[in-house]
Amino acid sequence: MTALTHYETPIRPSPFAPRLDALNRHADWTPWSGWRSARSFGDVEMEVSAIRNGATLYDLSPMVKYRIAGPGAVAMLDRLTVRNVAGLPVGRVHYTAWCDDRGHLLDDGTLFRLRADEFRLCCQERHLPWLLDSAQGFDVEIAEVTVEIAALALQGPCSASVLGAAGFDVSGLKPFGIAAAGDIMVSRTGFTGDLGYEVWTPAGQALALWDRLMAAGAPWGLRPIGSAALDVARIEAGFIVAGADFVPAEQALREDRAMSPLELGLGWMIDWDKGHFNGRRALLAERETGGRRALVGLEIEGNIGAEGAIVYLDKRREVGTVTSACWSPTTKKSLALAHLDWKHRESDRLWVEIYALRELRYVRLMERARVVPRPFLDLPRRRATPPGAF
């Protein structure tokens, strides 16, 4: 019988912990799905600046990872997720999402096609029971490999140069492409909206990878970052986060809190013609009737971040909630992701009410907000192949 000792380590250290612990001199940690993850390495502003101007390393190891393999993997994943998996070439990645029977989002994530019949699904939440039940009737094996695979996000305009210096030739790697170098895999993916890569390694080789990248990246000022800086970058890029910008359907206690991909602005990825997938019938019906709430991007006047603000129509009627927000140093704007009542999702009469705590007193601001397309920040260098030699 396996010794049950997991409770002795209620928060798990990452395979990179020996290096991260030494660098995180402020001990600014935050939990991420049961793992110890850095919130910052002491200076959030410098870390944000490095994402947009240099190169950064972020420990992705706590990301939940599943290996899905077998002759039925494509069919199973096409039934599970809303995007067309059969059309995803080997060696490519796509951003995708999956729903329950009611068409409500269970999670979003990235799907890697490693071989014709082998995939890796990366996501925020744990889904093994759902995946196993979704595999009934398909010739496929599913295993969680979160612990086995360590990963680093190497992001920023200089990231390709750092990888090149570390001996990984990524000059021909297009966005959402995968390249393998021995046990190490590099994908041109990320959560910053910038030029960037994710580097995957067996957990046992994590420290060697860290040392190799840090040594190679020194001339570009490669620095570790925490989740606070990443959060700013991902808001600028317009990416949503489970638990912040949507409530995963399996966790929603209140019946009206779960949302569909149509409501969350992910309708573009749904392949209606690929055959049946989970939630398709409910989503078809919703496509006719419209949703209840819509996730939109907002640009807000002023320079105060609007975290948790309430959105009003004509300053009077409450029509929504800000789910993520920040002052964006790159665009020099106050940006937000917000849920709005469906019928006001394109309104030009929106205001947000911001409560800014200033020395124990709330300063209440009512600022004009405009619905704008996402991403807020669209950098050509994110797509350029070969990548720019910064």
Q: Tell me how far, at minimum, the Cβ of 362 lies from other proteins, in Å.
A: 42
Please, which residue, 5 or 136, has the CB nearer to other proteins? 136
- The nearest distance, CB 138 to other proteins, in angstroms, is 7
Least gap, CB of 274 to other proteins (angstroms): 11
Residue-wise burial string across 280-312, b where 16 or more C-beta atoms lie within 10 A, e elsewhere = bebbeebeeeebebbbbbbbbebebbbeebbbb
Contact 299, 372 (CB under 8 A): yes
Q: What DSSP state is assigned to residue 359?
A: T
Choose between 84 and 159: whose C-beta lies nearer to other proteins. 84
CA dist 199 and 151 (Å) reads 5
Q: From residue 352, how far is each of 63, 312, 319, 340, 368 by CA, in Å?
A: 33, 6, 10, 11, 6
Binding site for other proteins (CB under 8 A): 75, 79-80, 100-102, 130, 133-134, 136-138, 275-276, 278-281
CB of 278 to other proteins, least distance (A): 5
Pair of tokens at residue 273 = 């013609």
Smallest gap from residue 268 Cβ to other proteins (A): 21
* Cβ-based nearer residue to other proteins, 19 or 104: 104
Closer CB to other proteins, 130 or 342, in the complex = 130
When the beta carbons of 8 and 255 are compared against other proteins, the nearer one is 255
Tokens (6 digits) for 112? 């890697």
Q: Give the number of other CB atoms < 10 A from CB of residue 353.
A: 16
Which C-beta is closer to other proteins: that of 285 or that of 366?
285
Looking at the DSSP bridge assignments, the partners of residue 337 are: 297, 324
**Please, what is the minimum distance in Å from the beta carbon of residue 241 to other proteins?**
24
Residue 177 CA to residue 68 CA, distance in Å, equals: 19
